Structure 1
Amino acid sequence: MTTVVELEVPTDRLGFARTFDRVSGFEFQIGGMIGGSPPLVWASGPDRDTLTQALEADPSVDVLASVAADGTNATTDDAADIGQHDRWLFRLEFGDGVKLFEEIVTENDGAILTAQGRAGRWKLKLLFHDRASVSTCHELLEQYEFGVDVTRISGVNDLASARTPLTETQYETICKAHELGYFDVPRGVTLKELAAELDISHQALSERLRRSHAALVSAELSDGTAPITIDP
């Protein structure tokens, strides 16, 4: 089944870390990264000169061209997502971090649909032909220490029957916690006892529960997806 994966990656693993440090309110939007060619990137900041100077000084990218400013005919549908500052279109050559990330994705039958960044993190949407490719790609990204945080996975064919935003591991954890009375008042089991029952560390369980709660709250405020097979 065709699968869409949404994830976040720290800028120090992909790029723009220096620009985020130097430019207040810096955000960017990439419509797609296909075939390894230098992409067009919408970038926003306080003014064009400050932004251009920061990008030119950033060792993770090379500025090949400054193409257009917002308001010209060189626009993309996704550009509106990057915020309220003025924005400019650049053609950028990314460094080894992005090239390795893209290589891992494409060699596992995946494609980068969109990439955007704000507050010091990349947010990417990837498309894969099947779940097996997702798992293999995720393992490689962990092996190369990209610090990937998977936030959502959905099967294109099952969005209509979506029920929960939890990963399968998160779902099983919440079910076990509920079964053992962790959410009761008073609690029927402590966090330490629940961690032992699940055979994971106290810290890992705490992180998993926090992510699960965040996913459930987010879904309640918007819309959810079906359980997924990769746990962040």
Structure 2
Amino acid sequence: MNESTIVQTRIPADRFLLAETMARGPDLVYEAEPFVLSDSDLFPYLWVRNHTDVDFEVHAEGDPTVRAVERLAAFDHEILYRVHWNRHGGVGAAVEAIVDEPSAVLQASGRDGEWEVKLRFDSKAAASAFHDACAATDVRLHISQVHREDGPRTSQWSLTTGQRQALVTALEMGYFDVPRGATAEEVSDALGISDAALSQRLRRATTNLVSNTITIGGPTGVGHPDAAADERAGGS
């Protein structure tokens, strides 16, 4: 059976998307909504942050990776665009390498000439083929994480199994209620770990959830493996 594999990597914008746009507007931050890339389309929806009214539209003019942009919604600090990419001849080699393998883009955020991308491949072999295709076209990847899917909908948020278990147990026992329905000691006893280990797991889990769901262009996958961190915290 193939095992779904998660790869988190940084990719230079000149081998991916929007390199010229980023150079013209270095303060802008971009985040693509999750999407399965295909020969017919790339991720169509792009959030742009730190904008003035028309920054992205102006900077994107003449960018070889973009055919057209369409503004869909505007808020105080973010604008949502529908981007029509120049699929043939414009996008970077890393995009082609992703499209060629069975994969989904779980996250993609860009700024300062670089993209932070989290990908799910159908198998470890597909992830390896992506890496090899990038190497063959001189795309320099800076891979920070490679791991198999280790739980229901946790890998895309960089939650470990232990972090998810700590969050769910704390929630079910009423630890987050006001007033609390359970103490930290009761939750840690239920998990079989120390109070300090529980505290560290909840902090790391919260950081990962916020970084991977609310912020744009923020860090992903922070936090130590649970076993090592729990040992330092005096837990098991």
TM-score category of the 2 structures, normalised to the smaller one? 0.5 to 0.7
**Which residue does the alignment assign to 2:118?**
125
TM-score (norm 1): 0.58
In structure 2, what is the equivalent of residue 69 of structure 1? 74
Q: Is the 8 A contact 2:15 2:93 kept in 1?
A: no
Question: Offset at 1:64?
Answer: 3.3
Secondary structure of the corresponding residue to residue 15 of structure 2: helix
Distance in 2 between the 1:102 and 1:157 partners? 26
The CA RMSD over aligned residues, in Å, is 3.0
SS at 1:6 equivalent: strand
Deviation at 1:20, TM superposition (A): 1.6
Distance verdict in 2 for CA 1:98–1:123, change over 3 Å: farther
Say which of 57, 60, 75 aligns to 1:55: 60
Match of 1:160 in 2: 161
2:109 equivalent among 109, 116, 124: 116
Find the residue that maps to 2:118 and give its secondary structure.
Answer: strand
TM-score normalised by length of structure 2: 0.57
Tell me which residue corresponds to 2:28: 26
Write out per-residue CA displacement over residues 146-203 of structure 1, whole angstroms, 9 at most, x where no aligned residue.
Answer: 22211111211274379xxxxxxxxxxxxxxxxxxxxxxxxxxxxxxxxxxxxxxxxx
> 8 Å contact 2:106–2:120 — kept in the other structure?
yes
How many percent of aligned residue pairs carry the same amino acid?
A: 22
Quick one: which of 93, 104, 114 aligns to 2:97? 104
Q: Does 1:136 align with 2:137?
A: no
User: Partners in 1 of 2:135 and 2:121 — Cα distance?
Assistant: 17
Alignment of 1:82-101 (within 5 A): 86-95=77-86, 96=89, 98=91, 100-101=93-94
Runs of 4 or more consecutive aligned structure 1 residues displaced over 6 Å after TM superposition: none
For 1:17 and 1:106, locate their aligned partners in 2 and report how far apart those are by CA, in whole Å: 19
> Against the structure 1 CA distance between its residues 106 and 13, is the aligned structure 2 distance closer, same or farther, given a 3 Å change threshold?
closer
Contact conserved, 2:16 with 2:95, CA < 8 A, in 1?
no
Asked if structure 2 preserves the Cα contact closer than 8 Å seen for 1:45 and 1:51, the reply is no
Quick one: distance in 2 between partners of 1:14 and 1:42? 17
How big is the shift at 1:107? 3.1
Q: Is contact 1:23–1:45 with CA below 8 Å preserved after alignment?
A: no
Q: Which amino acid aligns with 1:22?
A: R
Partner amino acid, structure 1, of 2:71: S
Matches of 1:16 and 1:157 in 2, distance apart? 33
Return the offset for 1:22. 1.6
What is the letter of the counterpart of residue 85 of structure 2? F
Q: 1:30 to 1:7 in 2, by over 3 A?
A: same
Q: Structure 1 residue 116: deviation in Å?
A: 0.9
Higher helix share: 1
Q: Distance in 2 between matches of 1:116 and 1:49?
A: 20
Which has the larger displacement, 152-161 or 38-47? Answer: 152-161
Gaps of 5+ in 2: 152-159, 164-218, 228-236
> Does structure 2 retain, via aligned residues, the 8 Å contact 1:110–1:129?
yes
2:29 partner letter: E
